[in-house]
Structure 1
Amino acid sequence: MTALQNIIPENLKNLHGGEEQLREKALAIIANDEKLQLNLAVLEAAMDLADIFRQFDTMDEDLRVAQVLGMRTFNALASSLKLALSGYHQNSALILRDVLETVFLLNLFAGDRALIERWRNADKKTRMKKFSPVKVREALDVRDGFTSKRRAEAYVLFSELAGHPTMKSAWMMRPEKDGDAVVGPFMEATALEAIVSEMGRLSVQVGEQLNAFLPPDWTRGQPARCAFDRLKLDWIATFFPMAQGICP
């Protein structure tokens, strides 16, 4: 065991120790916030739905594409959560941008299953022309009659804060709003709340899109589907009560 421990340089072992301490601090913050707990609950339910969906046995190549994209969201949400709890808020947000992009693609495919075959058989030029992130967002906006460009705004925000080295990206490296950027992980309640809230919001979208592909008559998938649906309704009632007609 000693020999194995010596493989890792001392500074990296110390860094890992610090990350584990930050994780405990993050869990303490979440333990005192029911809304954060709800966001994590819906995240788990969406991941469980992705895991169940991948187990559906099918020879349909288009459905297999949806399964793989669901698996991608599972891995991304798990990685984003691990990074957030370890104090790497910016890196966690970067992975959430991947979830956002994947959700948009699933949404497009759910609306027109024929597009899946075109996407999986497309060469690079065609894929970029028809299925690049901006083309997918534009197609969804046209389909849904949206003119507010909220999908683009969400993607750009993730890009500026986490995806690209911009001046705004330094904001997510500051433990205090007007303080200096720091190197390495840190834990701060506001930053953690923002990231976990985004995880919850995206998890609702992930689950909704995976539900669109999960065969409705597959009984094995029903428990995961029902669990997600219950938590989704709780999440909407908590964060968007007007959408449920709860408020007078």
Structure 2
Amino acid sequence: MSIKAEGRGEMTNNDTYMSLLMKMAEDGAPVPALVLATADARRQRNLKRLAGDIRFAGINELFTRLSEIGQAFAETPELSKITFMIQRAHADFMTALEATLSGYFAVASDAMRDVLEIEYLLMDFAIHPGHAADWLTTDDKGRMKRFAPARVRERLQAAGVVNFGDKAVSMDYKGHSMALHVSPVQLMNSANGIVSERSWLNEAGYWEIFDHGSALLKALRLLVERTAPGTQAEAVFKKDFTAFNEAKAKADGLKRVWISVAEAATKGGDPGAVGSTVLRAMVGSGILDGPGLSAVGDTEAVTDALFREMHKLAKSNEPITRAAARLFLSIATDGTEDEASPQSSEQSSGR
């Protein structure tokens, strides 16, 4: 048996990735071999767990549209000189996908921090004619003075394009910056190397991709509408984004579920209110079929069906679903169920 591999021609069974890693270990590099083997195993398990998931179709559509936008920029005189920015962002998303699948959330997060700066620059170019040309031609010292991230954010805030007073926007930028720079502060999204297989960070990479994919597309559309209306670049935005939008909705739903779990873990509060918040988030994200449960029968029948479903979800391979179900069960049973806590699911996996 042989398979084709890019740049390597025919591969025999003796040249499979795992056999090459074993050879690496035998040749005196067992630790790097183990690191690479662990990432490969994680990638395969995540692909199996997410087989058929709409998020892959959404990412495919994002990649396709960015390629088309990049081509349109290259062919549009007003935009051609910044085509490389679209290509760079496209590469960042590819990096984030691979890193998320392999369990390296920190790499995915840093790639999205890069996209975040591209988003802000593109919006600055859109609302200030001539800034793109200035940015391209100014020397390094002048560029840092006029286009440093803080200066760009000030202009966007003043123009009302981005509200950095908004909690979500502010936390997103601050979180990326704090995660990127070395600090004694340990963030919830801190990740040193490969994350635990049961960690919520295995899912966070996807909502990062869709959040920043959506923001980048909005920035690109604004730039095209302001500087090159009626061009082929504008026509790309009239194409179908159904898969991307559906995938983003799923990623957003899982993010809302995790936020409800995280807030319960950090803020506490009335157990009944916390349980209701988690339950609403699970229904809103589609993890639980609210109408289906309500149709089961009377209150007792609905409660029994809900607990059966929560016990099933508490054993799920999907990290956020499992954490939310276990938190709900822990609240509902006053913590008497040994594995109800979302924290226990990560501790048991070695995180």
- Compute the TM-score of the two structures, normalised by the length of structure 2: 0.55
Note the 1:1-248 alignment, pairs <5 A.
5=20, 6=23, 9-31=29-51, 37-38=54-55, 40-56=56-72, 57-58=74-75, 60=77, 63-144=79-160, 146=163, 148=165, 151-160=169-178, 162-169=179-186, 171-172=188-189, 184-212=194-222, 213=224, 217=230, 222=235, 225-228=238-241, 230-231=242-243, 233-234=245-246, 239=252
Code of the aligned partner of 2:201: A
Instruction: Report the Cα offset of residue 84 of structure 1.
Output: 1.2
Tell me the alpha carbon deviations over residues 184-225 of structure 1, each in whole angstroms, 9 at most, x when there is no partner. 454335112222111111111122233343866556985675
Instruction: Report the Cα offset of residue 119 of structure 1.
Output: 0.8
Task: State the structure with bigger RCO (CA 8 A, min sep 6), 1 or 2.
Answer: 1
Instruction: Report the Cα offset of residue 92 of structure 1.
Output: 1.4
**How many Å separate the matches in 1 of 2:102 and 2:177?**
21
The alignment partner of 1:226 has SS state of: coil
Tell me the alpha carbon deviations over residues 147-198 of structure 1, each in whole angstroms, 9 at most, x when there is no partner. 61554432211122x3012234464456xxxxxxx65454335112222111
Tell me the alpha carbon deviations over residues 13-39 of structure 1, each in whole angstroms, 9 at most, x when there is no partner. 33222111101222244348x6xx34x
**How many Å separate the matches in 2 of 1:84 and 1:217?**
37
Return the structure number with greater helix share.
1
Unaligned runs of 5+ in 2: 1-10, 254-351
Instruction: Report the Cα offset of residue 97 of structure 1.
Output: 0.7
Tell me the alpha carbon deviations over residues 18-63 of structure 1, each in whole angstroms, 9 at most, x when there is no partner. 111101222244348x6xx34x444332322221122234372x51
**How many Å separate the matches in 1 of 2:126 and 2:49?**
37
Contact 1:66–1:106 under 8 Å retained in 2? no
**How many Å separate the matches in 2 of 1:110 and 1:231?**
27
Unaligned runs of 5+ in 1: 175-181, 241-248
The alignment partner of 1:227 has SS state of: coil
Instruction: Report the Cα offset of residue 142 of structure 1.
Output: 0.9
Q: Identity of paired residues, percent? A: 20
Code of the aligned partner of 1:88: Y
Code of the aligned partner of 1:21: A
In structure 2, relative to structure 1, the CA distance for the partners of 1:202 and 1:101 (3 Å cut) is same
**Structure of greater Rg:** 2
In structure 2, relative to structure 1, the CA distance for the partners of 1:127 and 1:221 (3 Å cut) is closer
Contact 1:103–1:205 under 8 Å retained in 2? yes
Tell me the alpha carbon deviations over residues 119-161 of structure 1, each in whole angstroms, 9 at most, x when there is no partner. 111112221221111111111111116361554432211122x
Q: What root-mean-square deviation, in Å, do the aligned CA atoms of Structure 1 and Structure 2 show?
A: 3.4
**How many Å separate the matches in 2 of 1:88 and 1:14?**
15
**How many Å separate the matches in 2 of 1:152 and 1:140?**
13
**How many Å separate the matches in 2 of 1:225 and 1:72?**
23
Contact 1:76–1:99 under 8 Å retained in 2? yes
